[in-house]
A = this chain, B = another copy of it.
Amino acid sequence: MRVLIIGGGGFVGQKIAHRLAERGTLRGQTITHLALADLAEPAPMDAPFEVSVHASNIADRASVNALFEVKPDVIFHLAAIVSGQAEAEFDVGMMVNLMGSLNVFEAARALGTCPVLVFSSSCAVYGGEIPEQIEDWTQNNPQTSYGAQKAAAELFVTDYSRKGFFDGRGPRLPTVTIRPGKANAAASSFMSSIFREPLQGEAAICPVDPDYEVWYASPRVTVENLIRTAEVKAEDLGEQRCFAMPGKVASIGEMIECMRRVAGDEPVNRIVWEKDQRIIDIVSGWRPLINPQKALKLGLVTDGTFEDNVRYFLEDDIRR
């Protein structure tokens, strides 16, 4: 079993890699090789199997083709230009999120072995003219370029799978919080930073009102669900390879109260409330009421309350 993680230098990719190192198996087979690829070559890691690291740009077809010489049986395609940057730099978003994904899909197809391909889509595909309650059959009418690019790539995950070019799966990730590391250009970045920075003794700006509702999942559950998605049997996936990954709904205010219950008043008092219209314009188009029936039937799992998310951060990710 040979595994390739594109976006393997990012925090989700790194967590998948470390979880695979703990497990040693995927889809019931012993992992013999893990390839980690990202724009900048990821750091090597210890594992009970061979690990190779690769600098690769998915926007460059030749670079992707060279990467696929590792001949993966399972591919996690996590690489993307995040929402805020894709909105500000439209052409870069198209080149990476659409064309880059198509380069990955074509390289997977060219293997000729119908590999498993897990494409990390996003709940940003939801928005626009849809009912408040989102079901598995609700249309994707995204109101950001990031969402449109993800939704378009999803259509090809399903179509390439239907054609037998690869065995694709496209879970739509909730907002992952509390993310470790630093703030990034994602419009959702504050949904981690207003917890992470205060828990690490620093101030952070909250650009939205406390009643803003988030559809979220912890990093632990997200990684578990990405691995479970890779392990689902092809015949259980039906005619639609892309579906909402389970999440929870809470308002920013409720999430902050969870942090208070776990970590006291001090971190809460480090949050600075300062509205940012550019961020509000993007995230107010996202939709929190999602019923992930298909994912639950496929065996994906859900977080408990946001108190767990705070505890996971303190256990797994806090900067020491």
A binding-site residues for B, Cβ under 8 Å: 90, 127-131, 136-143, 145, 148, 151-152, 155-156, 158-159, 162-163, 238-240, 294
Cα distance A156–B155 in the bound complex, in angstroms: 13
11 extra interchain contacts, Cβ-Cβ under 8 A, other than A90-B163, A129-B238? A128-B238, A128-B240, A129-B239, A137-B139, A138-B139, A139-B140, A139-B240, A140-B140, A142-B159, A143-B239, A148-B159
| Chain B min CB distance to A280 (Å) | 16
* Chain A at the B interface: SS class: loop
A-B contact pairs, 13 of them (CB 8 A): A129-B136, A129-B239, A129-B294, A131-B137, A137-B138, A137-B139, A139-B139, A141-B239, A141-B240, A142-B159, A148-B156, A148-B158, A152-B156
Question: Chain B residues with Cβ under 8 A from A139's Cβ?
Answer: 136-140, 240
Cα distance A143–B241 in the bound complex, in angstroms: 11
A152's partner among B127, B130, B155, B162 (CB-CB below 8 A) is B155
Given contacts A129-B240, A239-B128, A240-B129, contact A140 B155 (CB under 8 A): yes
| Chain B min CB distance to A292 (Å) | 14
A145 in contact with B159 (CB, 8 Å) = yes
Question: Chain B residues with Cβ under 8 A from A158's Cβ?
Answer: 128, 141, 148
A136, A138, A159, A294: most-surrounded residue (chain B CB, <10 A): A159
Question: Chain B residues with Cβ under 8 A from A162's Cβ?
Answer: 143
Copies in the complex: 2
A145, A152, A240: most-surrounded residue (chain B CB, <10 A): A152
Cα distance A163–B145 in the bound complex, in angstroms: 9
A137's partner among B90, B130, B156, B159 (CB-CB below 8 A) is B130
Cα distance A128–B139 in the bound complex, in angstroms: 13
| Chain B min CB distance to A26 (Å) | 27
User: Which 4 A-B residue pairings sit nearest by Cβ, starting from the closest?
Assistant: A148-B159, A128-B239, A152-B152, A129-B240
Question: Chain B residues with Cβ under 8 A from A141's Cβ?
Answer: 137, 158, 239-240
Question: Chain B residues with Cβ under 8 A from A151's Cβ?
Answer: 155
Cα distance A100–B151 in the bound complex, in angstroms: 19
| Chain B min CB distance to A170 (Å) | 12
| Chain B min CB distance to A161 (Å) | 11
Question: Chain B residues with Cβ under 8 A from A131's Cβ?
Answer: 137
| Chain B min CB distance to A91 (Å) | 9
Question: Chain B residues with Cβ under 8 A from A142's Cβ?
Answer: 155, 159
B127 in contact with A239 (CB, 8 Å) = yes
